Structure 1
Amino acid sequence: MTVSRASQTSSLRPLPPRPARRRTRPGIASALVLSLALAGTTLLSAQEGDSGKTPPLEAGAAAVDITPQAFPVLPRGSFSPRPVDSVHDPLHARALALRSGKDRVVICVVDVIYIVEPTNSRIREEAAAATGWPVENILLAGTHTHSAPSPYPRHAALLRWWDNGEDNPDAPKAKSEDPAPETAFQKRTREGTVAAIVQAVENLEPASIAFGTHDVPDEVRNRRWYLEEGTMPPNPFGGIDTVKMNPNRSTITKPAGPVDPEVATVSVKTAKGKALAVLSNYSLHYVGGTGGQISADYFGEFARLVAYRVGGRKPPENFVGILSNGTSGDINNSVFSGTRPPRAPYEQITQVATKVADAAYLGVKEAEYVKSAPLAMRQRTVTLRCRRPDAERIAWAEKVLTMEPKEVKEAGMNSLAPHYAARILQMADYPETVDVTIQAIRIGEQAIVSIPFEVLVEIGLELKEKSPFPNTFTIELANGAYGYLPPPNQHDLGGYETWMGTNYVTPDSSGILVKELLEMLGELRE
């Protein structure tokens, strides 16, 4: 493992896109994720004035509509996506900018599944050029809604891959390996996200800030389960895992991991005491049940509702609510034990968003707002090892891709076998390593870390437990997206989140990143 203390976005080398069979240029995903940025990598204490006092805090926020205008579009988040031609609720890029003296932070969260390269770097670089704020001080993340169009240019071609067995899995081979042109939505997303960051910086004004937490335990459930003996179906590779994601409830015995019920909230007010922005964090993958329309999922509904929680019946017109995704790689909202009455489309989204917005309000209701707070950030580029298929796995993949869908079914194979076979052949051409960017931010006694993976919840809980700060949360899928990140003990159990083609880096990767992040938090605490 190699760690670079300099924050060089251009050094990122994302994994190749999936699921092409033929080798393509690097770029599996660099997910859109919340954009957090602090000045350089120095502690605020080094930037204090002659009096030794922490400079006053300034804050600005903005939300820009990025809802697609041209249809149909293909949502990202399904093995068999279907065109969508209508919108239930708008998509936004939402940004919060903070400044204290020479130190600064921008946090930008976008209503997409993630933001990949080269879009991720382009957005951050364009925003940095427009604001004069360092690119390494910008954290960009996606909410991980599964009901928004893909932000990845090549998905316009790749998403027709293996659609009901009617399309040739090799279709991407006929496409140019040159970078795909932006779609209308991708261009709108990029420009809107840059605009949100720029507007947030332009809107800076004297502010006060508070922090708080409140639990919502009844809407998060670990989706990985042990099953009754003899009931585990084969995985796509023909093996038998120890646990299964989202299993049939009739055979479950116990969950394979914990949950994190905490709703952590950063609340910002103007100098006159008006609500300016709220940034919350909850470890829930998404809610779903969107009825086949474009939707920001519960992240967007939270943003709408929390304005009334902290701003009253008539919240300030320019208030911005932001909900970031925590470590939710193995957490969803499904009911596995017990029953829940049927829901109308979007009904469950509203119910969950209401509870989380209530928790955000309750978390900061009695909190003390301060007009200054130490502001600092660390960013590192960490080199991780990529998983590579062996000769036996490659031979299996080549054989599967010669089979007709009917043959796959008659052989009793997992229906996803062709999908993962294509990914395996692509992974054979992966580089030995991939560079990923991680960040650690201090805002007073609140710490925020970012990881560019779909992170299993145990990792987030470990960071909270071992952090030197009283309050710490993780924003996942930030500054890139490189698949799932399970801890070693979950790797041992198998299951979707650990499969080669869903997980792309070696099992020791989570430990490496946790160690680096804790070291960075320690530096911020000094």
Structure 2
Amino acid sequence: MNFSTLNHPLISVLLCCLFSSFFISESTAGQIWIGAANVNITPDQPVAISGQFATRVATEVEAPVTATALALETRNADQVEDQALIISCDLVGISAGVQDQLRSRLKSQLPDLDINKLFLNATHTHTAPVTTDGVYAIPAEGVMQPKEYVEFLLTRLAEAATTAWINREEGGVSWGMGHAVIAYNRRTLYEDGNSRMYGPTNSSNFRGIEGYEDHGIEVLFFWDKQNKLIATAVNVACPAQEVESGRAVNADFWHEVRLQLRNQYGDQLQLSGWIGAAGDQSPHLRFRKAAEDRMREGRKLTRMQEIARRITLAVNEAHAVAKNDIHKDVVFKHTVQTINLPARRVTKAEYLESKAVVADLGKQEQAGQDTMRKRKWYEGVIERYETQKPDQTYPIELHAIRLGDIAICNNPFELFTMYGIQMKARSKALQTFVIQLACKTGGYVPTRRAAEGGGYSAIVQSNLVGPEGGQTLVEETVKAINRLWDEPTP
């Protein structure tokens, strides 16, 4: 083509369309505004702690549980492009209704926030207060009741959200990743085809570890106007349950991670802990334990400090690259939708088995044993069978966020890692952050292989949604993410 060809009317029209499309795409980029705040959500009185079948009342605090709010907004001149307010909580999960109650409280306090762009997530520590009434046999006197704790929690979460939102300022964002062995697949596979969570690996019928592990550490860095690091979000595919059977309030390994990162980057650093798809993962060692302990003891570290050391090294790896690639103007899009997943159906055999178990647990309870939590677990199966309908679905709130080259998505489950791997592999984003246990708590979602192997986490008592729903979640999440990368066609 020579220069005179550009004067052709058709070529001129095509060039106008091309440049119009370019500017439409670029107009979605805006200056990022950032706010972050952390609050203590540890009560000052004895409290029942969640995460095990037996009732545990904590009378001491080993490491405070906290909540960190991260407020994000992009603006083009005075025009708001999009928003997000994500609050990470050191809790076992987000109980039904807590997020809705928080949104109701904040709606009038933060009128310039699209309240639907707020969501909560939990780090899944098993040593944080109970937030649901009627699940555990909690003493009526001398112990903070779940209803009281939720009221205390909401007040603190509203404080964090308001502080982060009101104090947001112009800044920058960057992203990176490192690697750290934090999570181990906790499902043991045996010769007969059955699987068992935390099953022994030194028995003669041991044949392997059931599923995949994800050792990538996805990291977001947030900077102020002077390019000083003010906040970070760290995505680890591992629940915070190293001290899950303890009897004191404890934020688990995230407390040590905060201490180590603040020691390195300053006390101003706010850390959001985001747990990735990790329903079949935990930080517990599965084999080579003596060798691992020898190395850790040689470093003079506790197990929690060792986990934090590995995460900190991964964050440092990411920081070394990300600090040289700070973005002040970014494409920021945040979509929210409700999707309906196929519910796992309860069979008649499962129903009858649950009735028999409930009857037996009732007798044990009358004899003074603490079986309330387990009885409720089986009673849930009975209720589901008696009320289930054909084509029953389980609705969830799905958030999909594009922030520059990265994507953030959520789900309410303890989602088996392979589903998260599918999302990351099929996403158009450079990096994809998967946040589980968000908005509410929806139980485990196992793979088909796990459901066939059985065992805790892959049986009907553990699953409101089964493998079919897990795959539907992948498809809908990938679609929601990839739509954010679809550009106008010239």
Q: TM-score, normalised by structure 2?
A: 0.82
1:83 aligns with 2:45: no
Q: Which of 255, 272, 278 is the matching residue for 2:232?
A: 278
Q: Is 2:398–2:410's contact at 8 Å kept on the other side of the alignment? A: yes
Distance in 1 (CA, whole Å) between partners of 2:241 and 2:442 is 22
What is the rounded CA distance, in whole Å, between the counterparts of 2:94 and 2:364 in structure 1?
A: 36
SS in structure 1 of the partner of residue 30 of structure 2: coil
Aligned 8 A contact 1:223 1:255 in 2 = yes
Deviation at 1:66, TM superposition (A): 1.0
User: Contact 2:130/2:146 (CA < 8 Å) preserved in 1?
Assistant: no
Larger Rg: 2
Aligned to 2:369: none
Q: Distance in 2 between matches of 1:51 and 1:380?
A: 25
Could you tell me which residue of structure 2 aligns to residue 322 of structure 1?
272
Structure 2: which 5+ residue stretches go unaligned? 1-19, 140-144, 366-372
Q: Which residue of 2 aligns with 1:20?
A: none
2: CA distance between counterparts of 1:150 and 1:213?
34
Instruction: Give yes or no for the alignment of 1:289 onto 2:243.
Output: yes
In proportion to residue count, which structure has more helix?
A: 2
Shift of 1:245: 0.9
C-alpha displacement of 1:495? 2.4
Q: Which structure 1 residue ranges, 5 or more long, are not aligned?
A: 1-44, 164-180, 230-240, 409-415
Q: Report the secondary structure of 1:56's partner residue.
A: strand
Q: CA deviation at 1:354?
A: 2.0
For residues 319 and 421 of structure 1, the distance between their equivalents in structure 2, rounded to whole angstroms, comes to 43
Matched, 1:498 2:462: no
What residue in structure 1 maps to residue 256 of structure 2?
301
Asked if the contact 2:126–2:241 (Cα under 8 Å) also holds between the matched residues in 1, the reply is: no
Report how far residue 508 of structure 1 moved: 0.9
Candidates 128, 146, 166, aligned match of 2:126: 146
Tell me what 1:74 maps to: 48
Tell me if structure 1 keeps the 8 A contact 2:260–2:309: yes
Q: 1:487: how far off?
A: 2.7
**Which residue, out of 191, 199, 205, partners 2:169?**
205
1:203-258, CA deviations, whole angstroms, 9 ceiling, x for partnerless residues? 111111110000103x22111121245xxxxxxxxxxx621110022223211111
Task: Give me the TM-score of the superposition, normalised by structure 1.
Answer: 0.77
1:451 corresponds to: 411
Tell me if the contact between 2:256 and 2:304 (Cα under 8 Å) persists in the aligned partners. yes
Deviation of residue 384 (structure 1)? 2.4
1:106 matched to 2:60? The reply is no
In structure 2, C-alpha distance between the alignment counterparts of 1:51 and 1:398, rounded to whole Å: 60
Aligned-partner SS, 1:264: strand
Matched letter for residue 216 of structure 1: A
Greater RCO, 1 or 2 (C-alpha within 8 Å, sep 6+): 1
Q: 1:365: which partner in 2?
A: 320
Aligned residue number for residue 8 of structure 2: none
Greater share of residues in strand = 2
Residue aligned with 1:501, SS: coil
Alignment CA distance shift 1:418-1:449 (3 Å): same
State the alpha-carbon separation in 2 of the partners of residues 492 and 215 from structure 1. 31
Measured after TM superposition, the shift of residue 419 of structure 1 is 6.4
**1:153-302 aligned within 5 A:** 154=133, 157-160=134-137, 183-217=147-181, 219-229=182-192, 242-251=194-203, 252-289=206-243, 291-302=246-257
- Which stretch shifts more, 53-62 or 82-91? 53-62
User: Could you tell me how far 1:118 is from its partner in structure 2?
Assistant: 1.3
Q: Distance in 2 between matches of 1:384 and 1:430?
A: 17
| Contact in 1 for aligned 2:124/2:241 (Cα 8 Å) | no
Moved over 6 A (4+): 48-51, 404-408
CA contact (8 A) 1:289 1:348 kept: no
Give the stretch that moved more between structures: 296-305 or 86-95: 296-305
Q: Is the CA contact (8 Å cut-off) linking 2:53 and 2:374 kept in structure 1?
A: no
1:333 aligns to 2:310 (yes or no): no
- How far apart in 1 are the matches of 2:364 and 2:119? 46
By how many angstroms is 1:418 displaced? 5.6
Q: Check conservation: 2:28, 2:331, Cα contact below 8 A.
A: no
Q: What is the letter of the counterpart of residue 196 of structure 2?
A: K
Classify 1:452/1:303 alpha carbon distance in 2 versus 1 (closer, same or farther; 3 Å).
Answer: same
Q: SS of the residue aligned with 2:359? A: coil
1:397 matches 2:354: yes
What is the distance in 1 between the residues matched to 2:44 and 2:443?
29
Shift of 1:453: 0.6
User: Are the aligned partners of 2:135 and 2:376 in contact in 1 as well (CA < 8 Å)?
Assistant: no
**Preserved contact between residue 223 and residue 246 of structure 1 (Cα < 8 Å):** yes
The 2-side partners of 1:284 and 1:205 are apart by: 32
Alignment partners' CA distance in 2, 1:104 and 1:123: 17
Alignment partner of 1:354 is 2:309: yes
Offset, 1:267: 0.2
- Residue 135 (structure 1) aligned with residue 135 (structure 2): no
Alignment partner for residue 63 of structure 1, among 24, 28, 38?
38
Q: CA deviation at 1:259?
A: 0.4
Say what the alpha-carbon RMSD is for the aligned residues.
2.9
With over 3 angstroms needed to count, the CA separation of the structure-2 counterparts of 1:257 and 1:392, relative to structure 1, is closer
